[in-house]
Structure 1
Amino acid sequence: MAPFKLSDELLEQIEQLIEERNNSTLLQILNELHYADIAEIINELNLEEATYLIKLLDSEKTSDTLTELDDDVRERILDNLSPQEIADELLELDTDDAADIIAELSEERKKEVISHIEDKEHAKDIVELLRYDENSAGGLMAKELVKVNENWNVLTCVKEMRQQAEHVTRVHSIYVVDDNDRLKGRLSLKDLLTTSTKTHIRDVYIPKVDYVIVTDKAEDVARVMSKYDLEAIPVVDEAGRLVGRITIDDIVDVIREEAEKDYQLAAGITQDVEADDNIWKLTKARLPWLLIGMFGGLGAASIINGFQDALKQFPILLSFVPLIQATAGNVGVQSSAIVVQGLANDTIKGEVFGRLIKEFSLGLINGIAIAAIVLVISHFAFGTEYEVSATICIGLVTVIVNAAVIGTFIPIFLDKRGIDPAVATGPFITTSNDVLGILIYFLIAKFILGF
């Protein structure tokens, strides 16, 4: 099946059908679409049209569609729905998705909606999930799962599983618990099917099972599931009791959000923003790093100003300042980007000193290669004396090595201090290396040329 692509013609048709209140044709079109495609359509409609479609669809499709909408669109639509209408939609969702939606409401609306949920067990589970931080395993997990007691026999196990499976959209794993609900292991479906109905589960379950604790960070959960190629992972509380499970679709969202955040941090944007956000929010996100860059530029200008007498004697030095700044910034960003990626994937191993030595060596090799080219060009193209050309090249090698070491050290340092190392891949590294690069360049020139 070809992927859905929203065209202007389809959007205009949908808008026209809404205006005409042609519900039968609307439903005929929408029922053939995936709920994610319907969400894409609704994101492009005005509030009145979007609300009309949401109310037109059956609850099962509406609830799934709500989870795929842009946050601001969903927020405006929910404001247009009554507590009872929201409660009806939440009944069709797994508890994790329902909790995510209800968390966006005001405290007063939360209470109203929860009070209207007919399934009290479902409401209780949602309330429990709302207690957890949204960026923790508890905030990601759903309560729906299939679990069996180690003391049951296979026949009892199958009967219980049939009842539990009615409330689970997809059965990823069968978890085994003891009488106190503590996680003991997992049950293979093959073993269940090939074992005598009188056999006890404790004799056939697999004790080895990966799990996370409710307080674990979302990023750590993503790392575990990625490392072991898991479709789902059980979640236990501090006492080891099974309280929920996290599925791969939730982790994909975490990975995407982290990637977007890191990309924005690397570009010098301090908070999560989108292209459609208002000017004030975009300004607040961008301006801080621009100010850092401004002060860095002023610092570099101040350094250059302090060597005015030397520049009168050797004006050619000023011509290579852009090369020094650009090279230092690029090398620093390259080094920090590799380290940040390694930290994110948990592939940075060994001592920090060993990593620094490796980057020092790499910077030295790159620096010598670039300096050799600059030496030839500066002498023959600019007519620079060998002594001055050598000064420029030695300064360039030193700046490159310094930038490589700083670009490696700062992300690791930030990570050990609990700060997102992605901040080191953007303007922070570029600005710091620009300033330090200029200072190192002129200090070396002063030492060699003796001004």
Structure 2
Amino acid sequence: MTPFKLSDQLIEEIELLIESKNDTALQNMFGEFHYADVAEIIHELNLEEATYIIKLLESDKTSDVLAELDEDVREQILENMSAKEIAEELGELDTDDAADIIAELSRERAQEVIAQIEDEEHAKDIVELLRYDENSAGGLMAKELVKVNENWNVLKCVKEMRIQAEHVTRVHSIYVVDDDEKLKGRLSLKDLLTTSTKTQISEVYIPKVDYVKVTDKAEEVAKLMQKYDLEAVPVVDELGRLAGRITIDDIVDVIKEEADKDYQLAAGITQEVEADDSIIELTRARLPWLVLGLIGGLGSVFILEGFEEIMVNPSYRGLFFYTPLIAAMAGNVGVQSSAIIVQGLANDVVKGSLLNRLVKEVSLTLINGSVLACLIVIFGFLMDNPINFSLTIAISMMTVIVVAALIGTFIPIILHKKGIDPAIATGPFITTSNDIFGIFLFFYIAKLILGF
């Protein structure tokens, strides 16, 4: 299949067809597109055109398109649709996607839409999912799955599976439950096909099955599925009853959202924003960390004022020219260390003794610091600087690098233990703190060695 490629020519053609209300041509054209490609096209149309396309095409396609759209675009389109039209779209979606869209509506609007859903069981499942936190396993799961009772024989099992499979887009696993709906295990399709039709399911099912609870955090679900390469994982309620399943596509979305959030935190943005958000929203997200940077910069000013005697001594005045270098090295090393730790915490690979990590980090920074210090001494020799001057800068920089690495390593770990997102420690927080410590240590060590 040739990959879809959006072009200005295609958009212009679609806009002309909409303007002339050539519905047949539009239906034929969009009939060849994947729903993800249709969503990409919708993003390039204005609101009126996008709504026209959504209402024109069949719900079995546009429902997936709506689920694929950015929240802001989807919200605008839904405002132009009646409760009945929205209900028809949701009736074609899996319960998890339908619940996500319902959750974006106002309470009154959501009630109107739910009341218009013809399939009462589908509506009931959606309402049940809405009671869970969106960042929990319950908020991620879908109710559509295939389950069999351990007391059935293979023949009855196959008959029931055929009925259930009509409502499931993709069958990843067959789950086994008891009479109380408690999860007992999973059923191998191979065992099902190669076993006598009179055999009890309790004799052939696999009791070992990975599962999560409805209250588990989305990040924990992602780690489990990543660790064991699961395409789907069952979800049980507080009593161990099978409540739903989470599929890999939902987890990919969780991982992407978490990565976007961490990237913005690392850049000093305190809440999730996008490039097309309002000026107020963007300001609210960026300003707090900029204020922190300003305070840190003012702190550096006071530190420099405390060593102003250097400025009146011609022999040591040159130290001020190395201040940006020291601050930059402190910031760079701190961000490198914190970035590695934050990544390790996210992937759950930061384990073991803190003392061992301390020894490892100090050893690493001493090697890096020694190489950089040698380069500083060589630079000082080429610039005809006094040897004690060059050694002072080299020793100060080594000390600053070690301290910055330790701050960059342990601040994320401490934040993680306190339940705070450690990604904060890869942004202005770590840079500002290392700048202040770096400048202070630089001049304090220089004062001790040179004796000014």
TM bucket (normalised to shorter chain) is over 0.9
| Other structure's SS at 1:196 match | coil
| Other structure's SS at 2:424 match | helix
Counterpart Cα distance in 2 of 1:28 and 1:359: 62
| Other structure's SS at 1:127 match | helix
Question: Aligned letter for 2:79?
Answer: D
Corresponding residue number in structure 2 for 1:367 = 369
Corresponding residue number in structure 2 for 1:197 = 197
Pairing 1:85-234 to 2, within 5 Å after superposition: 85-234=85-234
| Other structure's SS at 2:416 match | helix
Corresponding residue number in structure 2 for 1:351 = 353
Counterpart Cα distance in 1 of 2:301 and 2:200: 78
Aligned length: 450
Corresponding residue number in structure 1 for 2:311 = 311
| Stretch moving more, 428-437 or 345-354 | 345-354
The reply to whether residue 282 of structure 1 matches residue 289 of structure 2 is no
Q: How many Å apart are 1:405 and its aligned residue?
A: 0.6
Counterpart Cα distance in 2 of 1:370 and 1:77: 58
Q: How many Å apart are 1:338 and its aligned residue?
A: 0.5
- State percent identity of aligned pairs: 71
Corresponding residue number in structure 2 for 1:327 = 329
Corresponding residue number in structure 2 for 1:435 = 436
Counterpart Cα distance in 2 of 1:353 and 1:77: 56
4+ long deviations beyond 6 Å: none
Counterpart Cα distance in 1 of 2:206 and 2:132: 30
The reply to whether residue 31 of structure 1 matches residue 56 of structure 2 is no
Counterpart Cα distance in 1 of 2:405 and 2:128: 48
Question: Aligned letter for 2:111?
Answer: K
Q: How many Å apart are 1:354 and its aligned residue?
A: 1.5
Corresponding residue number in structure 1 for 2:404 = 403
Question: Aligned letter for 1:197?
Answer: T
Corresponding residue number in structure 1 for 2:254 = 254
| Other structure's SS at 1:252 match | helix
Q: Identify unmatched segments of 5+ residues in structure 2.
A: none
Counterpart Cα distance in 1 of 2:312 and 2:35: 69
Counterpart Cα distance in 2 of 1:356 and 1:77: 54
Question: Aligned letter for 2:277?
Answer: D
Counterpart Cα distance in 1 of 2:389 and 2:180: 78
Give the conservation status (yes or no) of the 8 Å contact 1:188–1:206. yes
Counterpart Cα distance in 1 of 2:424 and 2:271: 11
The reply to whether residue 386 of structure 1 matches residue 387 of structure 2 is yes
Q: How many Å apart are 1:38 and its aligned residue?
A: 0.4
Counterpart Cα distance in 2 of 1:83 and 1:378: 75
Counterpart Cα distance in 2 of 1:5 and 1:218: 33
Counterpart Cα distance in 2 of 1:242 and 1:69: 30
Give the conservation status (yes or no) of the 8 Å contact 1:59–1:88. yes
Counterpart Cα distance in 2 of 1:264 and 1:29: 39
Counterpart Cα distance in 2 of 1:4 and 1:213: 39
After superposition, the C-alpha distances for 1:123-180 in whole angstroms (9 at most, x for unaligned) are 0000000000000000000000000011111011101101110110100000001111
RMSD: 0.8
| Other structure's SS at 2:246 match | strand
| Stretch moving more, 303-312 or 143-152 | 303-312
Counterpart Cα distance in 1 of 2:300 and 2:255: 38
| Other structure's SS at 2:172 match | coil
Counterpart Cα distance in 2 of 1:13 and 1:271: 39
Question: Aligned letter for 2:263?
Answer: Y
Give the conservation status (yes or no) of the 8 Å contact 1:293–1:431. yes
Counterpart Cα distance in 1 of 2:71 and 2:6: 19
Give the conservation status (yes or no) of the 8 Å contact 1:50–1:77. yes
Q: How many Å apart are 1:109 and its aligned residue?
A: 0.5
Give the conservation status (yes or no) of the 8 Å contact 1:335–1:404. yes
Q: How many Å apart are 1:312 and its aligned residue?
A: 2.4
| Other structure's SS at 1:148 match | strand
Q: How many Å apart are 1:28 and its aligned residue?
A: 1.3
Q: How many Å apart are 1:288 and its aligned residue?
A: 1.2
Give the conservation status (yes or no) of the 8 Å contact 1:311–1:317. no
TM-score by length of 1: 0.99
Question: Aligned letter for 1:48?
Answer: E
| Other structure's SS at 1:186 match | strand
Question: Aligned letter for 1:104?
Answer: E
Question: Aligned letter for 1:378?
Answer: G
| Other structure's SS at 1:234 match | strand
Pairing 1:59-70 to 2, within 5 Å after superposition: 59-70=59-70
Corresponding residue number in structure 2 for 1:58 = 58
Corresponding residue number in structure 2 for 1:444 = 445
| Stretch moving more, 141-150 or 280-289 | 280-289
| Other structure's SS at 2:235 match | strand
| Other structure's SS at 2:114 match | helix
Counterpart Cα distance in 2 of 1:131 and 1:306: 58
Counterpart Cα distance in 1 of 2:312 and 2:67: 66
Counterpart Cα distance in 2 of 1:234 and 1:120: 24
Counterpart Cα distance in 2 of 1:388 and 1:399: 17
